[in-house]
Chains A and B, each alone.
Chain A
Amino acid sequence: MLFQFSDVTKTYGAITALNNLTLSVPTGAIGLLGPNGSGKTTMIRTLLGLIPVDEGTGQVLGKDFRREQLDIRRDVGFAPEDECLFPHTVGVEFVAYAGELVGMSRTDALQRAHETLDYVGLGEARYRKVESYSTGMKQRLKLASAIVHDPKMLILDEPTNGMDPGGRQEIIELSRDLAHNKGMSLLFSSHLLPDVEAVCTHVVVIAAGKLLAQGEIAQLKQVHSQSYEVRVKGELTPFAARLREAGCTAEEYADVLKIALPAGATPQLIWKTAADASEQIRHLRPQRSTLEEVFLSSLEQA
C-alpha cells in the first residue's frame, strides 16, 4: 500500500480542507485530480507530515504521518508547485544541496546531482545559476532535486503548470519513465487530465476534501454495453431521427453519433435502422468514457 487515510479531517478556521477523507491507494503511478481548492495540496502536505490533522489517522509507505514525519520525508521526493529556488547556486549545487538536506554525504550528493541532472536533460546547464533557468528548466531542476536520494515515492504537485508543449511532454515522459520503468511510486497531482492519463494508471478524484472516485483509469473508463459511437456516410441528422423513432437516444458530437440503445436491444437495431434508411455505417464501436467524463460525472454526483 502506498498510503492510506482513515477519517482524516483538516480545517483551516472555517474552511474544511479535508473532510473525513478515507482512502487506500496502492503502489504505482497515481493521479490526484480535483478542481482548485479541492484539498489536493492539503492532502500532499498531510502525506508529508507537514501539517497536523484535526482528526483521523493514516500511513505513508507504512509509516504513521502523525508521528514519523521525518522518516516519511526521507523516503519521499517532493517537487512543489510553486517556483522555489535555493538562491545563488548553480544547477549541480542546487541538486547536491537538496541531497545533503536529506542526509547524503557531500560526495554522494554531488555524484548523484550530476547523474540526475543528466537524466532530466539539464547536463549542459549544470553550471549555470538557477535564477537564469527557464520555467521548464526549473521544473526539471525540481524533479532532479526530488529524486536525488532515490526516493521510494515521488510527489509531483502540478509539474506541468505554465510549461510550453515541448517542456510539458518532457516532464510527462520523465514521470512515466520513473513510474513505469524505474519502479518509483508516483503521486502526480494535476488538473490537466491528459497529463494524468499519459502518466498514471490509477486515479484519485477529490473535491471539497472528499473522495469522489478512485480506481484504475482503465476500469473507470468502462465500456458502456448499451452505448455506441456511429459514423455514417450520409448526413447524421436524418439518421439520428430514424434512430430516435426506433426508440434509441441519439446525440450528435462533431461527426459522430452517440447512441444509447433501449433496454434489451442489441446493436443489430442500429444495423437494421441503417438498412431501412439506406445508410452506410462507416464506424461502429461501443462507447468508452474519457477521463474527463469520469472526472466531470464524479463532480456532478458530488
Chain B
Amino acid sequence: MPVFDQGYQHWSGTLSGHAWRWLAITRQGVRVALTNRWLRIALFVSWLPAIALATALCLWGLLEQQSALIQSLRPLLGFLDREMLLDPKAYRQEAWTLAYGYFMLTELRLAMLLILIVGPNLISQDLRYNALPLYLSRPLRRIDYFLGKWGVIVAFLGAVTIVPAIVAYVLGILFSLDVGILKDTFPLLLASVGYGLIIAASAGTLILALSSLSRSSRYVAMFWLAAWLGSGVIASVLQGIEHEQRRHALGRFDRDNPTVFVDQELTAARTDWRPLVSYTANLARVGEEMLGTPEAWDKVTSLRAGPEKDMARLRNVSVQYPWTWSAGVLLALFGLSAWILNRSIKSLDRLK
C-alpha cells in the first residue's frame, strides 16, 4: 500500500447553502466576459463620463465656496446664468440634477453597447454547447440560473452607472464642505441608484430573453441592435414625419410668435406616442422623471428671458408625454421577456 495514495481523495469541506448559488454563475460569467478585450475597452470608455460627472460636482462645490481655485475658471462658466454664479447654493439641486441627468443619459447609451458585447453569449452559448443539463442537474433551480445570468448584466451596468454615481456623489460632498448638501441631494443619489437598477433590470431581462431565442450569438446581437438602434430609428422617423406635418400646419397660423409656437409644440408633445417605439427613449423618459430633470430645466430656463427662454424650454424639454406611458412599455417588455425566458429555458421534464 502506498504511503500517500495520489489517486482519488475524499473531500470533507463544507458546501454553502442554496441562497447564493446563483452568484457562482454570475462570477463565472463576469470572469469569462472580462477575457474579451473589446469589453475591457468599452468599460474604460464607459467610465470617462463618470470623471466628467465627478469633476462637475467638485467644481460646483468650489463655486459654492467661492474658492480661489475656481476664480481662474470663471471665464469658462459663461454658459451659466448670472444668478447661478452669484448664488450657486440656491441652484445646487438643479446643477447636481442636470449633471446626473447628463451622466445617466450618456451611460444609458454606453450600457447598450456594453450589453451588445456581453449579453448575446449569456444563454445562447449554453444552448449551443448544451450546458443546461450541467446546470440543472446540480442543486440549482431555473430561477438561480436566470438570476446568475442576469447578475452578469447587473454587475457590468452597475459598474458603469451605480458605482460611479456613488463615487461622484461622495467626491461632490467632500468638495462642498456643507452638511446641508446631504439633505438637498440625497434623494438624487437614491434616484440614480434606482435608475441604474431599472436600466439593469429592464435591459438585462430583455437581452437574456433575446439570448435564449437562438444558439447563435450573432443573431442575438442583431436582435439587440434591432431593439436598441432599430427601434430608435423607427421612432425618430415617425417623430420626424409628425413634426414636419405639425410645423407646416403651425406655420399657417402663428409662426412669428415663439412663445405660442413653443407652447403648441409642448402641448402636441404631451400626446405624442411615437417616442414610445424607441426602447432607449422609454428608459430615458423614466430616468428623467426619477431624477427630476424636467423640473430642474424649468427652474434653470426660467432665469432666461424672452425667446431665448422659450427656445431653451423647447430644446431641453423635448419629450413631454407622461412618464407612466414609458413605464408601462418597459413593464410590458419585462413581462414579455420573462415569458420568453420561461418558454425557452425549460426544465429537463421532457422527452429527448
Residues in chain A within 8 A of chain B (CB atoms)? 12, 15, 17, 41, 45, 48, 50-52, 70-71, 73-74, 78, 80, 82-89, 97-98, 100-106, 108, 112, 115-116, 118-119, 131, 145, 147, 149-150, 177-178, 182
Contacts and interface: CB of A to CB of B under 8 A. Distances in A.
Contacts of A52: 349
Contact of A50 (B12, B15, B17, B347): B347
B137 A147 contact: no
Interface in B118-163: 121, 125-126, 128-141
Contacts, number: 114
A116 B6 CA distance: 10
Interface residues of B, number: 42
Name the prevailing secondary structure of the B interface residues: loop
B243 interface: no
Given A97-B28, A100-B27, A112-B11, A70 B125 contact: no
B167 interface: no
Interface in B87-142: 121, 125-126, 128-141
A149 B139 CA distance: 12
Contacts of B16: 103-105
A105 B21 CA distance: 11
B170 interface: no
Contact of A73 (B7, B11, B125, B139): B139
B13 A104 contact: yes
B252 interface: no
B8 A182 contact: yes
Nearest to B15: A103
Given A51-B349, A52-B349, A87-B129, A103 B8 contact: no
Contacts of B315: none
B131 A85 contact: yes
26 contacts: A17-B351, A50-B136, A50-B348, A51-B347, A52-B349, A78-B138, A80-B133, A80-B134, A80-B137, A82-B130, A83-B130, A84-B132, A85-B129, A86-B28, A87-B125, A87-B128, A98-B134, A98-B138, A100-B28, A103-B16, A105-B13, A108-B11, A118-B6, A150-B12, A178-B8, A182-B10
Given A51-B349, A80-B137, A88-B125, A101 B8 contact: no
